[in-house]
Amino acid sequence: MRIAMMGSGGIGGYVGVRLAASGEDVSFIARGAHLQAMRERGLRLLSPLGNVELARVHVTSEPREVGTVDLVVFAVKLYDSDSAAAAILPMVGPQTRVLTLQNGIDGIDMLSQAVPREQVVGGATYLSSFVEEPGVIRQASQMTQVLTGGSNDPVIAEFGTVCSRADGIALTVVDDIEPILWQKFVRLAAFSGGTSLMRLGIGQIMADQESRIFMEQLLGEGIAVAAAEGHSMPHDFKDETVDLFLRIAPETQASMAHDLAQGKRLELEWLSGRLHTLGVKCGISTPAHTAVYRALHPHAWGRNDVRAGG
């Protein structure tokens, strides 16, 4: 199976290095210093499950150099979706599937503007990983869950077989990915918003009475907005999510918090910003998510972008 990772950051880099380490035919699409480091030194994964070092990887900045593949794992930041979707077309043949492992609820629709909808498969990850430095991926917790749609798709079935041969990828294929995307969206918007705004690991946040109330408020607002949009959460969703926040490694922060610390552009518009916008649309007050959105908005474009005054 020929697999291309469109985006080699926290998620794409993690999944790609796990697949490549198991002997699969993986091509990485990267750019900038990360691309250069991967060309010169390969790709390293630092993981609580055991480190992986690939001295050589197939990496390029030009998808046309890869050619047609069986599966494109689309793992770029949401703000790069339009340009990246156009860029992958040289890798997409009539039988190619494009699996989006992006955050939020908008990835499938954005990708389908360039790729036929029937070739796009939605997915969600419960992985905490980020680029620690060029050529190095850091996995911040032991979570390895990947969920995808396409339960009757032969390409996705083959991908499931491929993942079963790799360490550190717990893949589950489901009949309907949409409820899972909404559940991940509500959870991640709270987790990203809280850890980014407070610049703390989730453990410190949940250990403080007042900041824990704020996290629960973020969750409650997301649950209310999702229900208004026709995507009610399971009855125990909030309790399970709070329990998850208490169980994961206490120093864990969302990738958006790492991006904020490094002065990179943020996915704010598609997380707390999206819930703020949906709340306005549905007539539901979202004071916590609105506070996150407005407080982080000056940082949304990264410190070096003219729109951020940098």
Nearest to 77 by CA among 150, 159, 12, 145: 12
Of 241, 253, 23, residue with least CA distance to 138: 253
Mind listing the pLDDT tens digit for each residue in 140-171? 888 899 999 999 999 999 999 999 999 999 99
**Mapping DSSP to helix (H, G, I), strand (E, B) and coil, where does residue 92 land?**
strand
pLDDT band of residue 304 (cuts 50, 70, 90) is low
Q: How many residues make up the chain in this entry?
A: 310
For residue 308, is pLDDT > 60? no
What pLDDT does residue 305 have?
55
**pLDDT for the residue numbered 154:** 97
Each residue's pLDDT tens digit, 87-97 = 999 999 999 99
Q: For residue range 163-214, what is the model confidence (pLDDT) as tens digits?
A: 999 999 999 999 999 999 999 999 999 999 999 999 999 999 999 999 999 9
The confidence score (pLDDT) of residue 309 equals: 39
Among 39, 265, 236, 9, residue whose Cα is nearest residue 133: 9
Cα–Cα distance for residue pair 224/262, rounded to 1 Å: 32
